[in-house]
Amino acid sequence: MKYVRWIILSACFPLYVSAQTDTVQFLRRAQASVRAEQTESSVTLNDSINDSTRPDSIIHTTIQTVYFYTDTLFQVISAPDSISRQREIITHADSSERRGHYVEAYIGAGYGSLGYTLSGADNHVTGFANAVLQAQYAYFFHPNWGIGAGVWFTNYPSHAQLGGIYQWKGQTDTDLETDYDHSSQIIRWRENEIIHNAGVPVSLQFQYQKEDWRVRLFAALGVAPSVSVMKSYRVTEGVIAHSGYYPEWNLTLTDMHEFQTKHYEQDPCAKGSLSVRPQATLFADFGVLFPVGKQIDLMIGAYAHYTANDANSSAKKNPGWKDETFTFMEEYKGVYATDLTSASHPWAAGVKIGLHWHYIAPDKHTTVDYFDYFTRRDTTIEFVSRKDTIITERTDTMARAHIAKAAEEVEKLNKIYFDYDSYRLSDESKAYLSSIISILNKVPDAKIAIDGHASEEGQRLHNERLAYNRAKEVAKFLITNGIEKERVIVIGHGSLVPNEENIHHELPLDRRAEVKIVQKQSDLE
């Protein structure tokens, strides 16, 4: 068996050596394909082994591959991303400027007169109570100016009083005695006159309101073509003593048929219709408007009317005889129709009260596209080793944490309260804001949003302006005390956003401004 084993080993040895050599070459070829990325280092050991049974030398080759890894630093700075969005913009359709349509209704009372005088020391005219009822439409084409037209009904009353002695010489009495002088002494003559007019007033109107006023000033100036729909006179008392003087006998007769004291209140001439022409009445209104509802204002003011033309169209006559019945005054049609009267210019003045209902076009809604741009400062460090390690660090992590902490501190002090209908800062509010300023100085890169609010009292537009002014007043204080203007954003919400801390719905707690730190764009939306 010993010889058989030796023969087998001697036969296989050349095959063993050939196999080892082919393996080493294969490994080298495999490494050559990655030579560009790796560095091959080989260490060759030559050991000579003296073996009486194997005279040849065996070469042992050790291949050591060393991999060199390169650390790669990736840094991306200011990579802007844009996001397209849609926002609905509300355009106020002149709501704050009061443009729009108005319906106005008034009732007034004052003092008026037919506006004429009587000749004679014992004769005079006085006025009496005047009333006016008016309704009209107005359109304001400008924040302060508008035009109006409508209808009105008004009256102009007068009281006439006559006195004195009137004589007519060379008269003939009932006995046909000629050449006597008739004398009439007016002891009392009281007469009421009144005309009722319907007119079409056309006016230029004006209204004005300062930013911090709750009321508006109102005025109107115009002309009203008018016609008299009722016009009458009535003698309430008429006492005249008649006498006749006969020069031929130097005799004065009284208490006779034609010479006696007469009362004319029941005479047919004691009442009748006045003769009046159409008139052009100039008028002026002025007063103040108080808001009493969302679309209704109460107007309290005064008015004045004056007729530009002579309203009296009577054929004026002297007081005289009508016929042999000795009826007083020839065809008597009231004092208004005698030649004792001057030109008639009816006028009136008084106070008026009314309501203004207005319609202002609703706000317009417009959808616009806009872009939000976000800038990221990302730093990525990647190390490749036997165990790959990638370290990613965002440079804004610590800054945002710092801003968030400051925002929490500001929220403890951020509500600034105001008095009713005011946007002036109190001393206590200024102290709060001084504390907030010290916190804001610690985060100089942060934006500051100031939200103004108002309570539910008052009109929406007024509350919007008031809320914006409150926020603007806080911003002004911050900027004055060192906060950069570019960091401050002012927003007015009106009375739309209640105070979340106001659980009992107390109105003073809604009159406020809130200061907050803005960390990102979405905080403003």
User: Domains, the chain, ranges and CATH?
Assistant: 2-66 (no CATH), 69-91+365-393 (no CATH), 93-359 (2.40.160.20), 396-524 (3.30.1330.60)
Q: Average pLDDT, whole number, for the chain?
A: 76
Task: Please answer whether residues 125 and 116 qualify as being in contact, where contact means their C-beta atoms are separated by less than 8 angstroms.
Answer: yes
Task: Note the pLDDT of residue 76.
Answer: 47
* Residues 498-517, mean pLDDT to the nearest whole number: 84
Tokens of 127: 């006025």
Average of pLDDT values for 45-58? 39
- Residue 495 vs residues 74, 237, 363, 458: alpha-carbon distances, Å: 51, 67, 17, 10
Instruction: Please report the pLDDT score of residue 46 as a whole number.
Output: 37
3-state secondary structure 447-516: EEEEEECCCCCCCHHHHHHHHHHHHHHHHHHHHHCCCCHHHEEEEECCCCCCCCCCCCCCHHHHCEEEEE
Q: What is the pLDDT of residue 469?
A: 93
Residues 408-442 have pLDDT tens digits of: 777 766 788 899 889 999 888 888 888 888 888 88
Q: Quick one: average pLDDT of 279-296?
A: 94
The pLDDT, as a whole number, for residue 78 is 52
Question: Please, are residues 151 and 135 in contact by the beta-carbon 8 Å criterion?
Answer: yes
Q: What's the pLDDT score for residue 517?
A: 83
Residues in the chain: 525
Percentage of the chain exceeding pLDDT 70: 69
User: What would the mean pLDDT of 177-203 be, rounded to a whole number?
Assistant: 90
* Mean pLDDT within 108-120: 94
Cα separation of 54 and 36, whole Å? Answer: 41
pTM listed for this prediction = 0.51
DSSP state of 363: P
Residue 25 has pLDDT above 50, yes or no: no
Per residue in 159-168, pLDDT tens? 999 888 888 7
Contacts of 362 (CB under 8 A, 6+ apart): 93
* pLDDT tops 90 at residue 280: yes
CA distance 129 to 156: 8
pLDDT at site 400: 57
Q: How far apart are CA 426 and CA 416, in angstroms?
A: 9
